[in-house]
Structure formats: structure tokens, C-alpha cells
Structure 1
Amino acid sequence: MGDIRRRSAVALGITGLVAPLTIALGAAPAQAAGSCTTQAGPYQKQVEKFLGRPVDGRQSAADCTAIRAFQNKHGITPNIGYAGPVTWGVMDLMNKQKAVGNNPNRDGKCPTNKGRIACVNLTLQLSWIQDGSRLVYGPVPVRTGRDKYETRTGLKKIYWRHKDHVSSVYHVPMPYSQFFDGGQAFHSVGVSMWNPPGSHGCVNMTKTAAKKYWSLLRVNDDVFVYGRKPGT
């Protein structure tokens, strides 16, 4: 049975480590490669506030530099310093994640009658481990499936773990993989957790978080995925 599951997971080749796709920004002005836009975006004031810039709604060279640095850090393209919907969407999500604090299951949607369980809130792109109502680890930001490759919702169980897994389809490493649904797994990646548009279905984590999940979870432990990722 283990070999069958292993072949199934590898054949499906679900992985989150993919090259960032170019995100169309709609009204974003056309710019030459490496240039910085002088135009204010539709979310200029919100972005300025998030970055601690003077909130005046006008694009300055310093504003553009700060916005571009944020875009480069999180793999947001085009990285021209434009305060568009994708950039603000990432910042808004960060704000909402921060507001959760240490009570990620305040809505009570992740079961508390299963003992140890890994919870994934797609709407907030957060995951944590709880035991009953006691928080064991997290919450931590995660990067789940993009549009058409959504991380499937529902109650699942970890069925196979492979610490040094490599995707046979994308030929990229998936360290600390813990598979819970038809090839979808928790695993670490080397990109930002806010890197759009998302994974091919897996729940991406930082190496620190993935290692902690590896140490805390075992085969047959429950996983509960709920909500809906923004943009899917």
C-alpha cells in the first residue's frame, strides 16, 4: 500500500515551488524593463500607509522605491512600483493575518473534537496545529493553490511523509512533504509565502514551519482545510 501511495503522489506531481507568473495589473502603466513608474496607483494611499510612507496619494521617487522593494521581496510582477490591486491585495492579506493574533480558530470552524489536527484557513492563508481547543503551533502564513489548482477543502488525513521528496513533474524539491489529499501536501519552499499567484495545490510553508509540522505530525493525523483563497 505504501508503494501504491508513493506512486500516486509522485504521478500527480503536485508542488508549490513554481516560477511566479506575471500578474496583469489592469490599469498599470506600461514601463520599460527596470524602470520605475511615476504614476499613482488606485491603492496609492493604502500602500503608502502600509509602508509607513507619507500618505498623500501622490507617487514620489521614494514611494516607488519602497513599493518596488516590497514587490521584489514577494515576487510581485510587474515590479515597477505601481500601487495596483495585486500589491495592495498582498498587503491587505498581511494585515488580516496579523489581526488574527494567537487565536486562529476564533470562528470555531476547525474541529476541536479530533485531538491533534492541522488546520488550513484558505481565506486567510494561515495554518496551525491544535489539540482539541489548545493551540499547539502557529498560526503561520502559508501559500496554497492558485486558481484552477485550488487546495481541496474538507477533512483529510496525512497518508504519506517523505522528508526529501522531489516532484517528478516540476523537478523541484519539496522538503518535509506530508501528503494529505491526492498528492497535495504540506512542504517547504524557497519563495515568499505571499508570492502570487500560489501553488499547484500544495500548502507551501517556510522551512522553519515545515520542519515544525514534520516534528509534530504523524501518518493518520487529521488535516482540515476550509475557506476560499482570494482570487480563486
Structure 2
Amino acid sequence: MRTSDVWRSVGAATALAALAVVSGCTIQPAGPPGASPAGAPPSAGAPPSAGAPSSAGASPPAGRSPGDAKPPDSAGQPAPKVLWSPGDRGGGVRELQARLRQVLWLYEGPTGTYDASTVYAVKGFQGKRGLPRTGTTDSVTWQRLLGMTDEPGKWDLYASGGQPAAKPDPRCLTGRVLCISKTSRTLRWMIDGRTVSTMAVRFGTEYTPTREGVFDVYFKSRHHVSTLYDSPMPYAMFFSGGQAVHYSADFAGTGYYGGSHGCVNVRDEDKIATVFSQVRNGDKVVVYW
């Protein structure tokens, strides 16, 4: 090679080196397209690669603070509170039963006891409205029932009896007495001021009212049938004209949704049968408010 050619090659190499320094580039081994040079930091503002975790200082989603837990989904919500379940007793159960009667899911009672009939009625009500058929009354079931029914009145709550008896009239405190309160709709069988038995009763309607006052039992008839209405009057104890204390299958079946023709109806056959066996002709009957 001639001396001029050598100097020409050295000058070209020097020019290339100077250009590299000015541009900031260095000679790197070839790599895949887009690969960063070994050891070089990523360019400022470059987006992270797909799937890469966000940096520790990344901002949380709108509406959430750093450290907030992910909101639970519907599957994680607590179960509704159970208000009444089988075996429970009391006024709340009585109201539940009265409301179930309004929507025709229950035909008995109310009794104030969460029995098998109540479980069956609650399951039917729940299933009809797409609720879990548990048979127990939870807060969701109760709210649905409240929205479909009216507040029960006193005699809706005690349609088939079970109400507390009124205080005995003073005229009931001596002797042997059938002490009958129209206010509480109860009968006390009393002997010398002591209550032997208590039972629910109903009276005549507006057009055939039960008479009030002090009377005596004058006739008893175990298998009596009314000559006026041709209806059975078992365990009848007559005290005023054609009016008597007796068992009523209609009262047992429909409760206070019906009425008598003036007699004092009793719904508990076992109780009235026992009292019938103890009462004598001449025993006192007191009907009072």
C-alpha cells in the first residue's frame, strides 16, 4: 500500500470515531429489534412492556386509597339475620302467623308457636318470591311479607284464642262460677275465687248478641242439637233462654272471623268437655265487659 493510501485510511477511521462521540452511540453487539443495550436504563417516559408489574409508586384506581381492600362481591355478603325459627314462641311469631294468614299461606292459628305448619307456610311464601326456601324467617323474608300485608288487629293476632284472660269480675269470686269476659273473650271456670281452667270464647253477632248479667246453669245436654238452627251444640250448658256455653267446631276452624247466634262458643273441645263434667245445674254464670 502506498503511503498516501495509508494516511487516507487513518483519516477515515478518525472521522468515524469522531462522529460516534458526537452522536453518543457506541458499538454494541447485535440483538433483537427493540432490545435495550445491556445495562442501560430504560428511556424516560417509555411505557412498560406488556404484563410487567406496575411500579411501587403507581397511583391507585379512582375512588380508592392506597391500601384499600378490594370490595367484596355479592357472594361474600353476610347472610340475612334470622328473626324466628322452628320452636320459637311469642308475640313476634303470632304476628308472623297473622300476616301469613292474610296472604293465604297459613290457615291455622295464630298460635304464637313456630310449628310445622308455620315452617311449611314460610317455605311456600319464600319459594313463590324467589327467596331461599329455608322455612326460617329472616330479615329479607320479613320485609317482603310486611310490604304485602296490613298490621294485624288484636283479634287477628288471637283469631283462634290464646289471649290472656281478663281480671275476674267481683261477682265471680264466690261459689262455683262460669266467669265470662267479653273484653278479653275468655271464660274462667272458678271455684271459691280460684281459677280452675281458662279458655277462649266468642259471642253472638251484632244482631244476635250474647246477654250480659248474672245467671244460673239450668240445663245440660252433652249431644245437643239446636232446634232453631239445626246445628250441633256439644257440651251445652244453658243459662239464659236458648243461650248456652258449648263447644263450636266452627269457632275451632275459623276463629273470630265468625260468630254465634247468641251462645258462648268454646273452641277447645278437651277443656269444655272437662268443665262440662264438673259443672252442676245451679252453678252461676257471669257475663260481663
TM-score normalised over the length of structure 1:
0.58
CA distance in 2 between partners of 1:125 and 1:150 (Å):
14
Answer whether contact 2:177 2:190 (CA < 8 A) is retained: yes
What does residue 218 of structure 1 align with? 280
Q: 1:113, CA displacement in angstroms? A: 4.6
Look up the match of 1:202. 263
What is the CA-CA distance between 1:175 and the residue it aligns to? Answer: 0.8
Distance 1:64 1:180, change over 3 A: closer
- Taking the aligned partners of 1:129 and 1:211, their CA distance within structure 2 comes to 12
C-alpha distance in 2, partners of 1:143/1:116? 21
Q: Say if 2:201 and 2:264, in contact at 8 Å, map to a contact too.
A: yes
Query: What residue is the counterpart of 1:21 in the other structure?
Result: none
- Structure 1 residues 185 and 83 mapped into 2: Cα distance closer, same or farther (>3 Å)? farther
Match of 2:108 in 1: 73
For the residues of structure 1 that align with 2:153 and 2:92, how far apart are their CA atoms? 6
* Cα distance, 1:112 vs structure 2: 4.2
Map 1:112-127 onto structure 2 (within 5 A): 112-127=172-187
Aligned residue number for residue 215 of structure 2: 156
Q: Which runs of 5+ in 1 are unaligned?
A: 1-45, 54-62, 75-80, 228-232
RMSD: 3.2
Query: Counterpart in 1 of 2:238?
Result: 179
Could you report, residue by residue, the CA deviation over 1:59-80 in whole angstroms, capped at 9, with x for unpaired residues? xxxx66774244x337xxxxxx
Bigger Rg, which one: 2
Higher relative contact order (CA 8 A, sep 6+): 1
Deviations 1:164-213 (A, max 9, x none): 11112221211111100111101111123523231111111132122122
> Is the CA contact (8 Å cut-off) linking 1:96 and 1:124 kept in structure 2?
no
Corresponding residue for 2:224?
165
Secondary structure of the residue aligned to 2:171 is: coil
Counterpart CA distance in 2 for 1:196 and 1:95 is 9
The alpha-carbon distance between structure 1 residues 94 and 180, as it changes in their structure 2 partners (threshold 3 A), is: same
> In the aligned structure 2, how far is the partner of 1:92 from the partner of 1:65?
10
- Separation of aligned partners in 2, 1:167 and 1:96: 24
Would you say the 8 A contact 1:157–1:180 is kept in 2? yes
Deviation at 1:94, TM superposition (A): 5.9
In structure 2, the CA distance between the partners of 1:177 and 1:122, relative to structure 1 (3 Å rule), is: same
Match of 2:205 among 146, 149, 154: 146
* 2:166/2:184 contact within 8 Å kept: no
Q: Counterpart of 1:5?
A: none
Say if 1:67 and 1:120 are closer, same or farther in 2 by CA, change over 3 A: farther
**Per-residue deviation at 1:163?**
0.9
Q: Which amino acid aligns with 2:96?
A: L
Mark the runs of 5 or more structure 2 residues left unpaired by the alignment: 1-90, 110-144
Cα offsets for 1:84-113 (capped at 9, x unmatched): 58x534234469953x3xxx453x424245
Report the Cα distance in structure 2 between the residues aligned to 1:175 and 1:52, rounded to whole angstroms. Answer: 29
The alpha-carbon deviation at position 146 of structure 1 amounts to 1.3
